[in-house]
Amino acid sequence: MSGPEKMQFPDGEGIEGCEQVRELLHDFHDAELSAWQRDSVQSHLDGCAACRSSLGEIQSLAALLRSLPRQEMTRDFADVLADQIDSSGDRGRVLPFNATPALIGVAAAACLLVLAFSIPHLSNSGSVHSPQVAKSGGEGQFVDPATSEATVAEVKQNEEMEQSIERLTEASPVDQSYSTSTSSSPPVPKVVPEKVAEAKKPESVPPAVQEKAPDMVALHRVESAPAIQDKEQVQLLANEAVVAFDGDEPDNLFSQMGVGTDEDGLYAIKL
């Protein structure tokens, strides 16, 4: 016999008046009163039409909820679940069915990592549509994509690659840097890795590079627009520190995921 209402009306004390009775009507309806309380409420109800009406409303509501059609599963999970548990061992971890998106996410993460490492080498050869990169915690500001690699070591490696390409092709390096995300002016080259702030130091950064860029944040660049086709991949991107996307939006997908766009139509997820 716990609960505030029952504490107010312990057995043996009079339950008088409509106000007191109505406080007990839900419990009365739900058969949660003691025998003594139930009898007291019942005797009041016998002579009070207003309280009977209140009880009728409670009964009606409960009946309406009970009247909802019961939903039944379209298939029997017993065999499938038993097989899963059986195959995972007696006390082993059972892989939930809905872990599939997570697996897809892991696979996509691996792809992204590969992209993050490989695309810089390819994109330096002349892509006009270098994406801008939103920096985590930076109020949506876009930062220089030339500095947006997973590690400073990568930046260094990219610079070396760029130089080697320059030497081989004798072409001017492709500009991939924009001053801000919303700027409508022509892109302004800006390579200032040390200004990429609010970040942890990568463990593998050489001391010399650490001096140049003590607060380098781990950023990823994604240029594979056609590869971004489904929600799981976008969710994966949302788990990354920084994501930029340059391409056509697949079926309003990014808007549904809460991804913003700048004036140039470039999409970015800010975390």
Partner 1 sequence: MNLDLNDEALVEKFRQTKDKTLFKSLVRRYQNRIYNAAYRMLGNKEEAEEVVQDTFIKMHQSLDKFRNQASFAAWLFRISHNVSIDRLRARRRKNKSGFVLFSFNPLSTLGGDGDEERGGVVQQVADERPDPQQEIDLSEESKVIEQSLRLLPENQRAVLILHDIEGFSYQDIAEIIGANIGTVRSRLHYGRQKLKELLMPYYFDTKTKVIENERT
Handedness of CA 123, 124, 130, 135 (dihedral sign): positive
Question: Which of positions 220-249 make contact with partner 1 (CB under 8 A)?
Answer: none
Residue 5, interface with partner 1 (CB under 8 A)? yes
Comparison of 73 and 208: residue with beta carbon closer to partner 1: 73
Helix (H, G, I), strand (E, B), or coil: what is residue 6?
helix
Residues binding partner 1: what is the number (CB under 8 A)?
Answer: 45
> Shortest CA distance to 199 belongs to which of 234, 236, 247, 155?
155
Residue 93, interface with partner 1 (CB under 8 A)? yes
Contact 192, 209 (CB under 8 A): no
Q: Return the HEC string of 92-138.
A: CCCCCHHHHHHHHHHHHHHHHHHHHHHHHHHHCCCCCCCCCEECCCC
- Smallest distance from partner 1 to CB 119, Å: 27
Question: Of these, 73, 128, 168, 208, which contacts partner 1 (CB under 8 A)?
Answer: 73
Residue 18, interface with partner 1 (CB under 8 A)? no
Give 224-231's long-range contacts (Cβ < 8 A, gap of 24+).
224/115, 224/119, 227/111, 231/256, 231/257
Residue 89, interface with partner 1 (CB under 8 A)? no
Comparison of 98 and 185: residue with beta carbon closer to partner 1: 98
- Smallest distance from partner 1 to CB 128, Å: 30
- Smallest distance from partner 1 to CB 67, Å: 7
Handedness of CA 238, 239, 241, 244 (dihedral sign): negative
Binding mask 27-66 for partner 1 (x = CB under 8 A): x--x-x-----------------------xxxxxxxxxxx
Contact 168, 158 (CB under 8 A): no
- Smallest distance from partner 1 to CB 198, Å: 19
Q: What residues make contact with partner 1 under the rule CB under 8 A? A: 2-5, 26-27, 30, 32, 56-73, 76-79, 81-82, 84-86, 90-91, 93-94, 96-98, 256-258
